[in-house]
């Protein structure tokens, strides 16, 4: 059966770390390396003299760290995160593209993008909170507990910061 999405792939394949083949690792690596380019987003914000939110640089830096720490140890968690992230970034960058074309009436929908981002953080938090996905290997330099705690607290802080941003946008 050819699965059409990451979620289907994960639902229909037994998770014993054997699911991590070259095709899956390609997407995990692509996701992790894309986080480096997302740091450029922060640079562009600064260069354009726009207001830089703590959430922007904090989120970009910690996601990059979590990704590279976790891609070998916890590929299923990274795969789930990347699947959600790719889909939400599709909508977010589509929104930003349309706004940059001068279609400013689209700005009334930015709260929905923020809602999806916030939801993504709560799903990530659930993944780390439940720890239903066990690590694939233990690296001598990074312990399983450290990575699980780092992932959990990273997503907890994201959930708090995105919720605060959502509330702020709702009040405006």
Catalytic residues: 59
Q: How far apart are CA 136 and CA 20, in angstroms?
A: 9
**What is d(CA 99, CA 104) in angstroms, rounded to the nearest whole number?**
5
Question: What's the CA gap between 23 and 153, in Å, rounded?
Answer: 30
CA end-to-end distance (rounded Å), the chain: 48
CB 122 within 8 A of CB 159: yes
Q: Distance between CA atoms of 35 and 64, rounded to whole angstroms?
A: 5
Q: How many CB atoms lie within 10 A of CB 38?
A: 16
Q: Residue 119 burial (CB < 10 Å; 0-12/13-18/19+)?
A: middle
């Amino acid at each position: 059966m050819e699965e059409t999405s990451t979620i289907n792939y994960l639902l229909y394949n037994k998770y014993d770390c054997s699911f991590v083949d070259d095709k899956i690792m390609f997407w995990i690596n692509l996701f992790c390396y894309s986080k480096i380019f997302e740091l450029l987003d922060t640079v562009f914000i600064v260069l354009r003299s726009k207001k830089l939110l703590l959430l922007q640089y904090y989120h970009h830096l910690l996601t990059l760290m979590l990704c590279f720490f976790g891609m070998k140890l916890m590929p299923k968690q990274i795969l789930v995160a990347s699947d959600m992230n790719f889909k939400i970034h599709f909508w977010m960058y589509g929104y930003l593209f349309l706004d940059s074309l001068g279609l400013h009436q689209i700005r009334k929908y930015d709260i929905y993008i923020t809602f999806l981002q916030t939801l993504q953080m709560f799903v990530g938090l659930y993944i780390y909170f439940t720890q239903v996905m066990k690590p694939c290997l233990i690296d001598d330099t990074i312990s399983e507990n450290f990575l699980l705690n780092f992932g959990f607290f990273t997503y907890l802080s994201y959930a708090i910061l995105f919720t605060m941003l959502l509330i702020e946008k709702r009040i405006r």
